[in-house]
Amino acid sequence: MQEATQTVTNAVQLAAEAAGHAASSGHGITHMMMLLIVQLAVIIIFAKVGGFLFQRFLRMPSVLGELASGMLIGPYALGGAIDLPGMGILFSEHAGFAASTELYGIATLASIILLFLAGLETDLAAFLRYSVVGSMVGLGGLAAAFVLGDLCAVLWPGNGIDSFMDPAALFLGVISVATSVGITARILAEKKKMASPEGVTILAGAVFDDVFGIVTLAIVMGLAKVESSGEGVAWGAIGLIAVKAIGFFVVVTALGLAFARKITGAIKQFRSREMMVATCFGLALLLAGLAEMAGLAMIIGAYIMGLALSRTDLAPEIEHHLQGIYNLLVPIFFCVMGMMVDFSAMKPVLVFGSVYSLLAIIAKVVGCGVPAWLMKFNLRGSLRIGLGMLPRGEVALIVAGIGLASGIIGQGIFGVAIMMTVVTTMLAPPLLVKSFDGGSGLRKEMAGTGEDIVSIDLELPSRDITEFLLNRFVRALQQEEFFVHHLHTDEPTYRVLKDDIAFTLLQEGNKLVINVPKANQHVARMILLEELLSLTDLLDSTKRMKSIGQMGTDLVNGLFA
């Protein structure tokens, strides 16, 4: 705790000294803000271009391009060598940290938005419905990843970590836990396997994985503070930390879920969508701050607030309004994380990073695959689930950033975490696609219990009409109290759930594709038929209007009247 406090104190002192130096040299707060604006301009441009290039030409997730852009422009690469007239070095170290206090503050805000939206997108119905197999898969992956990550840190010679309770070892364990399900969801949607037994199990397991990972982070943060205080390992104190972390998560989540509808009901009295969204986001920031005050990480509070609001009718509205901020700020976060990679510090731990990445792969494939095999899947299905849980992403980077900012891990260990994230994210897509070449993933005695998936393809005259029908269909499903989850994929993709009904929607150009279990296809067909009939009536009423050409003529004549 003292080291973490001292690190923050040093950063604040350095910022104050920098401000004083700026003032003494004829530059005030305006100059500092000008430098920040220029830095943000460079970061946004490079992050978005890098993400686009990786996604378009390398067929890789945009997050890797944003990370790579940060590594390129950071203080340990080009950013440290660019000396701008009147401003000095574009990106420079601050108290041994790669980002200034202001820049890291913006990245922290981005991480809160990221986890708040992740909580909003968590499907509690699927969480409960697949609680048994999902929890077993999630727990298996968590235990294997945490233990192997911690063991690797302790047993590797020469890295200065000699205890399983060492804060750096604990962080290496928790960093390898989190799963980035967005990448997996994109592949499942493209392969039309979202509603398959493997697909549903992966999504449910990822939900549990996120929850378990966040609780584990809370516990590890507490353990790290105990160790940093120099008081040694007191198992009684550790037990209290674990109880406090789990208690905070469970109690606050339960209270949030219990009062979420009353909270949103009160917020609706504003009768302004912008006010509703802003107030909900303000509550997420407030809970994030309370979580930090309780000795946990801010992202835990943000996730809990999103989880509490996920089953309210405001959830889609919040997601829609925050999407623009998400698209702008989250790439900044990933780019800043990339800027923190010190290549010179990574050289001595390059081999260690390779071994750690290999163990992170084995941990998820085996740790998630074995429980799946013990439940109802065969080896093929178990491998698919293990590979689906393989990619790490935003949560791993957030945890690594927290460890670096608090002084618990150094530049070398942070670089190892980045390396593992990149390796697992790059390997997962091709391996998962290949694994679905084959038969059923269920055991023979269980194969008859799997649901047959029917694909309803509806080709329309244009992409615009398809998008219009899709939006109407989504609104109709929400009016029928379906939970519609918009996945972050290239093509508009939705996961639809209500009680025992689960199916997916996908727009492919001018084609609307619905992948639905055979037993539930009548529900999807009836709602879609109602929307098609409404669309037909709308088009017929348009035909009865004055011709569009005549309307155009009247408008032109009015211009010159």
Q: How far apart are CA 502 and CA 554, in angstroms?
A: 50
Q: How far apart are CA 61 and CA 324, in angstroms?
A: 19
Q: How far apart are CA 504 and CA 494, in angstroms?
A: 6
Inter-CA distances, 279 with 29, 266, 270, 284, 300, Å: 30, 11, 10, 9, 19
- The predicted structure's pLDDT at residue 15: 45
- Which residue, 306, 68, 320, 303, is CA-closest to 178? 303
% the chain with pLDDT above 70: 82
Please give the span between the terminal C-alpha atoms of the chain, in angstroms, as a whole number: 77
Inter-CA distances, 327 with 113, 156, 331, 403, Å: 10, 39, 7, 25
% the chain with pLDDT above 90: 15
- Which residue, 271, 212, 219, 221, is CA-closest to 242? 219
The CATH homologous superfamily for domain 454-549 is Alpha-D-phosphohexomutase, C-terminal domain (3.30.310.50)
Within 10 A of 428 (CB to CB), how many other CB atoms are there?
Answer: 25
| Higher pLDDT, residue 39 or 548 | 39
pLDDT at residue 204 above 60?
yes
Q: Determine the average pLDDT of the residues in 498-518.
A: 82
Q: How far apart are CA 82 and CA 515, in angstroms?
A: 52
Sorted by where each begins, the domain ranges of the chain are: 2-89, 101-444, 454-549
**Predicted confidence band of residue 407 (pLDDT cuts 50, 70, 90):** confident
Q: What angle do CA 98, 102, 105 make, to 5 degrees?
A: 90
Q: How far apart are CA 180 and CA 234, in angstroms?
A: 34
Q: Residues 6-37: pLDDT tens digits? A: 444 444 444 444 444 444 444 578 888 888 99
- Residues, the chain, total? 561
Q: How far apart are CA 196 and CA 27, in angstroms?
A: 61
- The predicted structure's pLDDT at residue 187: 66
Q: Determine the average pLDDT of the residues in 266-282.
A: 88
Q: What is the mean pLDDT of the chain?
A: 80
Read off the pTM. Answer: 0.70
Q: Residues 148-163: pLDDT tens digits? A: 999 998 888 877 787 8
Q: Residues 225-271: pLDDT tens digits? A: 766 666 555 566 667 767 777 788 788 888 888 888 888 888 888 87
| Residue 545, SS3 per DSSP | coil
Q: Residues 219-230: pLDDT tens digits? A: 787 777 766 666
Cβ contacts of residue 525 below 8 Å, gap of 6+?
A: 456
Query: Do 369 and 432 touch, CB atoms closer than 8 A?
Result: no
Query: Do 419 and 346 touch, CB atoms closer than 8 A?
Result: yes
The arrangement of secondary structure in 101-444, i.e. its CATH architecture, is: Up-down Bundle (1.20)
Q: Residues 417-448: pLDDT tens digits? A: 888 988 887 788 788 878 887 777 777 655 44
Query: Do 127 and 207 touch, CB atoms closer than 8 A?
Result: yes
Q: How far apart are CA 397 and CA 418, in angstroms?
A: 7
- The predicted structure's pLDDT at residue 548: 62
**Predicted confidence band of residue 126 (pLDDT cuts 50, 70, 90):** low
| Residue 515, SS3 per DSSP | strand
| Higher pLDDT, residue 329 or 253 | 329
Within 10 A of 101 (CB to CB), how many other CB atoms are there?
Answer: 16
Q: Determine the average pLDDT of the residues in 267-286.
A: 89
Q: Which of 169-178, 190-199, 435-444, 462-471 has the lowest mean pLDDT?
A: 190-199
> Which long-range contacts does 321-327 make (Cβ < 8 Å, 24+ apart)?
321/273, 321/274, 321/277, 322/113, 322/116, 322/117, 322/277, 322/281, 325/113, 326/113, 326/114, 326/117
| Residue 123, SS3 per DSSP | coil
Query: Do 194 and 504 touch, CB atoms closer than 8 A?
Result: yes
Q: Which of 218-222, 415-419, 472-476, 556-560 has the lowest mean pLDDT?
A: 556-560
